[in-house]
Amino acid sequence: MPALFVTGTGTDIGKTYVSCALIRALKARGAAVDAFKPVVSGFDPRDAAGSDPARLAAALGDPAGLFRIAPRRYRAPLAPNIAARLEGQTLVLDDLVIDAVARTAELRDGLLLVEGAGGVMSPLTDTATNLDMITALGAPALLVAGSYLGTISHVLTALVALRAARVRVAAVVLSESLDAPDLAQTAGALAPFLGDAALFTAPRRETWDAGPLADHLADHLLAHLGQP
């Protein structure tokens, strides 16, 4: 069963928003889909329902699945390795990879969305980044970016890092940022620099349909990927 690693150009740019919409679109098409967040920081148990894993669980139609989706949760809104250390734990890349591989074994068909913490080069452990986990899994990446001024440079920098590590980029999603330049205009300026990476836009509205993105992934990933 293939896995897709949802990463970003940074934090708070819409990874979970895009993942939730993609989950709903895939489910509407009858596809088997699940989600996994290897590690979450900034998790407030008193507001668990407002957390990113809770939103993923709701999109999956499994409101009680928060703890299954995110087994490693830390309170401090810091890089996961620092947040874990504040609670007396040390994150190890091999453990995070094993967790993700185990989750792939639970779903025979369909797609597992593995959502990272922060951006492509954000640290997960004291010595490893999201990029290290992506390459260890052998999974393609869905790169999510904001539409703020300066995002084009951030997208292209992230793509250089992913491609240098020989990560297959399934698509780039430009998620609309508040008080930012026009989304379509920014996408138009970015597109000529993407090479063979498909570009999708994600307006910030409840009615945004991720169907075209879901169809692209179904056409180009599900039929060709094996176990990570």
> Can you give the residue ranges of every domain in the chain?
3-222
Name the class of domain 3-222: alpha beta
Written as six digits, the tokens of 137 are 């899994």
For residues 192-201, average pLDDT: 96
pLDDT given at position 41 = 97
For residues 182-202, average pLDDT: 97
What residues are paired with 35 via a beta bridge? Answer: 113
The Cα 84–Cα 139 span in angstroms is: 25
For residues 102-129, average pLDDT: 92
Residue 225 has pLDDT above 70, yes or no: no
The Cα 177–Cα 146 span in angstroms is: 5
Place of tokens 């609670």: 87
pLDDT given at position 228 = 37
Q: What is the DSSP letter of 129?
A: B
Residue 2 or 77, more confident: 77
> What digits encode the pLDDT tens for the residues 28-43?
999 999 999 999 999 9
pLDDT given at position 216 = 94
pLDDT given at position 104 = 87
> What digits encode the pLDDT tens for the residues 138-172?
999 999 999 999 999 999 999 999 999 999 999 99
State the catalytic residues: 37
Residue 1 has pLDDT above 50, yes or no: no
SS3 content of the chain, % helix, strand, coil (to 5): 45, 15, 40
List of E strands, the chain: 3-8, 33-36, 111-115, 141-146, 169-175, 199-202
Residue 63 or 94, more confident: 94
Confidence of residue 224 (pLDDT cuts 50, 70, 90): low
